[in-house]
Structure 1
Amino acid sequence: MTTVASKVPFSELAGLLEKISKKQGADKKLLLQEFINRWRDFHGKLHADDANTTDSFYSALRLLLPHLERERAAYGIKENTLAKLYIEVLCLGKDSPAADKLIKYRAPKNAKG
């Protein structure tokens, strides 16, 4: 079965979240509402012939609200370990500024980017 999620590139969702992070107040709500409306419209067109489809917005919602995810267990990795893993996977130098930001992301002076 083809799903809406399989047709919406992750980059579109990431771009949306980037735009939302730069907006304030009602503009944030409007951007998210437009995304959801486009999802609904596409869902309606994609599944027009299948009233019993199980396809839903849930897959996108899991990415938007990961702290509410109950279906899957947490990664079981502490933030520091995850930062070290990112550094290795992204081939960052261990002493690079980017690696330092990942390791010390909670420190106020590094949070500004």
Structure 2
Amino acid sequence: MAGINESLESLLSIDGAKCTSLVDSSSGMVLGEAGSGIDMELAAAGNSEVVKAKLQTMKHLGLEGDIEDILITLDDQYHIIRPMASQKGLFIYLVLDKAKSNLALARRKVQNIEENLIV
């Protein structure tokens, strides 16, 4: 089991990782962050709205279950949003350089770190 700072630093070891944070989706507040390249406060607030919108859409559609992750693909970046299964209302946010990363391996590592993160 690992704490917030240790987990975020582990995420930065992923090939192509630029920055990462742990976010409270109800408030949009950053609980911890590591790396650089993006205004994580602004990104956290915006991506909290993405998570809320997806959950609301799932509810309207009658879809049951949880979100494993949300992937946003930009021209040169991947953004992975991974809600925590053990801590409802929190999500891990990771920004990757698309040219330097392996998306499948990154998603697996985010999952492993999320499962071992203690808040």
Structure with the largest fraction of strand: 2
TM-score between the two structures when normalised by the length of structure 2: 0.29
TM-score between the two structures when normalised by the length of structure 1: 0.30
Structure with the largest fraction of helix: 1
Greater gyration radius:
1
